[in-house]
Structure 1
């Protein structure tokens, strides 16, 4: 399994003085930004467990720009799916995912691949995330009387328990909370070595990509910290949209904006803007 040290920090950064004018509107959407920044974290030769939407778009974008040997794996058992432009699957279990794929196996065999260490990166989103990278996609509120019921785990718990994780989500205070209402997919639990003590010695949260910046996790405390800010985003803005103390280094670099090539590939893949609006 690929370790954290083998996965790069935010790719392609520019100096803070290269920021666009504050009044200049971005030429891309927040979803396109998430897809591009996530794609830049993926590397040649990796096997990536990707869900539909932004994770799949990011994985395909990585294949077409920087990692042609990247292998995409779907929970439904598809290895190396062939995704036509404008025909993104609405579910990883849909049959169109199997057409011209490299291989089709059972869900049990997919989980065995995870358990045997053949999956480098898991890629998903969530409704809530906390300072230690724990994800909630089950419900909001009191477990006995939840305010909102969410889709649930699917294979999320298995992936987060056994692989290095990249999470892509919108950066909002209601999503970035002190403690998630329910741990659907484990990050570093209570921080420190509590993940290993719980019987999960491998994997863990690697990066959190949002529309405001890119976050990583302290090597010792396992608490979330900012690694880079997106163009035009201030430390004050990212703190104001986080429900816990999120350190922002004074010298935090600024990510390079999406290129015309990256945006053109995304827009060709999703011409109806189902996922990138």
Structure 2
């Protein structure tokens, strides 16, 4: 197999999860790249919603560097501003929320607000929700995307920015008044996770070739469920890498980042 970086693997794995003729509400960076790759390969009719208010833009002027980049409005089918974008999700027009985060727990709740200290006096401050909180509440399924690191996969979040299955109780999302079925996939550079239907706990579905479930468990701060149909993750081909590097992110704004050891 060709050599590839961790974020190239994440973007490729994210692309594979997305389906043709669906609508995905994308966050900045890797979700956009993964969606672009999907459009260029197996899902040409995949449509993206950008938080600034567009649906179905044609990204022929290059990669938008944020969800408010004017490139995200190029030849869009719909362009009605931020409130219009979120109205689409509340009316049920977004199949996926595709977001990142700093921390995730076993029930798919995400923290992208702070780590260490308190909310008002935190040691590390992250960008916050942006639109991710509303996306995870209103879109039908939530896809989370992040590097596989123990500091990210934690038993208890310090802050819940984006709702998942809450405490894991069957009616948590209904009582919280949110739409959609909730967490669907967690995509990393070494493993693909889903959720058990009965317990709503995170479940290991696929592992990178050469790795074992024990290798993945070492990088997760809570006990994982293991799928009885565990598979190896597909790896990107030379053509996939060409598309990612030359067509999706030619300047390497997101794909050339480094995973901390």
Fold agreement, TM-score > 0.5: yes
Aligned-partner SS, 1:132? coil
Aligned twin of 2:253 = 274
Displacement of 1:251: 5.2
Distance 1:102 1:260 in 2: 33
CA contact 2:52–2:82 (8 Å) conserved in 1: yes
Displacement of 1:107: 1.1
Query: Once the two structures are superposed, what CA deviation does each residue of 1:139-161 show, in whole Å capped at 9, x if it has no partner?
Result: 11222421111111111111100
Aligned twin of 2:37 = 61
CA contact 2:205–2:229 (8 Å) conserved in 1: no
Aligned-partner SS, 1:114? helix
Task: Kindly indicate whether residue 200 of structure 2 is the aligned counterpart of residue 225 of structure 1.
Answer: no
Task: Kindly indicate whether residue 52 of structure 2 is the aligned counterpart of residue 73 of structure 1.
Answer: no
User: Which runs of at least 4 in structure 1 moved beyond 3 Å after TM superposition?
Assistant: none
Aligned-partner SS, 2:222? coil
Aligned twin of 1:10 = none
Aligned CA-pair RMSD = 1.6
Q: Structure 2 stretches of 5 or more lacking a match?
A: 257-261
Displacement of 1:246: 1.1
Count of residues in Structure 1 that have an aligned counterpart in Structure 2: 252
Distance 1:100 1:200 in 2: 32
Task: Kindly indicate whether residue 145 of structure 2 is the aligned counterpart of residue 168 of structure 1.
Answer: yes
- TM score, norm. by length of structure 1: 0.86
Task: Kindly indicate whether residue 78 of structure 2 is the aligned counterpart of residue 99 of structure 1.
Answer: no
Aligned twin of 1:12 = none
Aligned twin of 2:230 = 252
Distance 1:144 1:80 in 2: 39
Aligned twin of 1:203 = 181
Aligned twin of 1:23 = none
Displacement of 1:93: 0.8
Aligned-partner SS, 2:85? helix
Q: Structure 1 stretches of 5 or more lacking a match?
A: 1-19, 21-25
- TM score, norm. by length of structure 2: 0.92
Aligned twin of 2:164 = 187
Aligned twin of 2:259 = none
CA contact 1:161–1:203 (8 Å) conserved in 2: no
Aligned twin of 2:27 = 51
Displacement of 1:38: 0.7
